[in-house]
Each structure stands twice: as structure tokens, then as C-alpha cells.
Amino acid sequence: MKIFAVYSVVTLEGKTAELKTFREKYDQPYKLHITLKQPVQINEDEVDEVKQILSGLDVAKSKIKLVFDKINGDEKVLMLMAEENSTLMDLQKEVVGLLHKYKSYVDADTMEYEINFKPHITVARDIHEQDMSSVKEQLRGMLPVKAFINSITLAVVNHISPEEALDPNNLTEYRFQHPLTRLVR
């Protein structure tokens, strides 16, 4: 069995060093990203099929500009929420539509995130309750955060872990251009 997910790496425009320092203190080493297709389990023999499906994605754009202007989260996780962006919403719907037959979600919550897509980047995890107010205040001082995405990435791993998710051998990137180009590593 394998696990795959599809996401877009978020590239910051400005405030990069400030947010990087913040994340080093409060987050895991994942790249900033927006998950388009939540993690699902597939058989190893389906990996090439998923890659082929994504290579047919029709994305005729150079990049999608984003602005993260709100903080959202619960008692332990903080996210920066993106302003409404119909291009990103359409991209997510297209990715999910193309991969609709893959429904063996890693957990039920992730399926709900996919259905009720709210573009965000997670910037802090496991914050102590007594620190939450000051951490949110630090983050508010960084808003708004401008960024863009110019590709989607397919991650295929054996287990969900930062090590596997960051290993270039487990990633296939598809850059935005017409037609979508697969960059093999």
C-alpha cells in the first residue's frame, strides 16, 4: 500500500525570513503548502495511473497569486487563511474531480477538509495553551502575507512523515503551463 496526496507549494513574496523563523519555532519542517487532494491509500500498481491522470490536468496559467489575511485554528494548530480565490478553488475542484475514484482516505477528517476546502497554510502546531495569545499576536503582526503557487506536487509515500514527504524521490511536480508539464526527479 501507498499513500498519496496532491498539494501546491506556497512561495512567499516578502516576510519570508520572518515567517520562516516563526515556523522553525512552532511548526514541523514541511514546506508551506495548500493541500488540494487529501491523503488517500492506493495500491502500488495505481501510482503510475495517478501520475498519468494528473499529467492531463488542463492548467493554462503561469501562477496563482494569493493573499493570506486571517488567522484560524484551534487550541494547538494555527493556520493562515487565504482570501477568496476562484482560480485556486477551481484548481482544487478539478484535481479532486480527476482523482474522484480514490476515496480510501487516511482518516475521516481529511475527507471533510477536501469537501469543505478552505485554502490555508499551517504555520504552528502543538502550541501550549498559555502561549497561544502571544503566538497569535506575533502572527497578526505578519499579516497580510502575499504569496503564489505555480505548480502542483504529487507526493507518494509509504507512511505520513516529514522525512518521506520531503524526499524528492517521492515527489512529482507538475508546473503550470499549457499543457501541464511533469518534471521527473
Show the domains of the chain with their CATH numbers: 2-183 (3.90.1140.10)
How does residue 138 score in pLDDT terms, banded at 50, 70 and 90?
Answer: very high
- Mean pLDDT over 124-128 rounds to 87
The pTM score is 0.89
Whether pLDDT at 181 is above 70? no
Backbone angles phi, psi at 167, to 5 degrees: -75, 115
**What pLDDT score was predicted for residue 143?**
94
Cα–Cα distance for residue pair 50/54, rounded to 1 Å: 6
Cα–Cα distance for residue pair 92/88, rounded to 1 Å: 6
**What pLDDT score was predicted for residue 130?**
86
> How many Cβ atoms sit within 10 Å of the Cβ of residue 53?
17
Cell of residue 101, nine digits: 475514484
Helix (H, G, I), strand (E, B) or coil at 126: coil
Helix (H, G, I), strand (E, B) or coil at 142: coil
**What pLDDT score was predicted for residue 128?**
85
Q: Percentage of residues in the chain with pLDDT exceeding 70?
A: 92
For residue 170, which of 150, 185, 151, 155 has the smallest C-alpha distance? 155
